[in-house]
Amino acid sequence: MNRRLGNQNWIYIFALVGVLVAIYVVYQFLTAGLQAYIALIAGVMLLIGNLPELARALQQRQWGSAVHNTLIGLALVSYFVGEIVLKLLFWPLAILLLFLALPLTLNRVGVARAYANAGRNVVSQARQLLRLRQRTL
């Protein structure tokens, strides 16, 4: 009987924590600045407007204005999410996305490809390192 009451207490604690997190998120939505909402609207408009062109660009493996606008749109949406939830995670992501869009702004597609290849190399090396570490353990 005591064990059943202990399990119910944990359920109540988790429910209370969930309600508090939900209240915090709603509060953040209501108090987010006008700039964050304008950034969200502009970012979503860029993403929706570029969707067909982005699909064609990805099929043809071309780096152009579609990828550029998508990176900027994602940065704006990331700024909004950072304003609401985790600034330390999403604001640096927004800055990184804008940094990745910079070569495309300057019509330097080769530099953008070099960034993408360097990112792929870093991810593949990290995967290999994790596999090697798992084998040795």
For the chain, domain boundaries: 32-108
Residue 47 CA to residue 61 CA, distance in Å, equals 18
Mean pLDDT of the chain: 80
Contact 44, 69 (CB under 8 A): no
pTM (two decimals): 0.60
Give me the pLDDT at residue 100, please: 83
Give me the pLDDT at residue 6, please: 61
pLDDT tens for residues 18-65? 999 888 888 877 777 777 888 888 888 888 888 888 888 878 877 777
Give me the pLDDT at residue 33, please: 77
Instruction: Decide if pLDDT at 137 tops 70.
Output: no
The residues near 80 (Cβ < 8 Å, ≥ 6 apart) are 32, 36, 37, 39, 40, 43
pLDDT tens for residues 88-131? 888 888 888 888 888 777 776 677 677 777 878 888 888 888 88
Q: Where are the alpha helices (DSSP H) in the chain?
A: 2-31, 34-60, 65-84, 87-105, 109-136
pLDDT tens for residues 64-83? 777 888 888 989 899 888 88
**Cα→Cα distances 77→4, 8, 62, 68, Å:** 45, 39, 23, 14
Give the tokens for residue 87.
């600034």
Contact 54, 70 (CB under 8 A): yes
Give me the pLDDT at residue 59, please: 82
Contact 63, 112 (CB under 8 A): yes
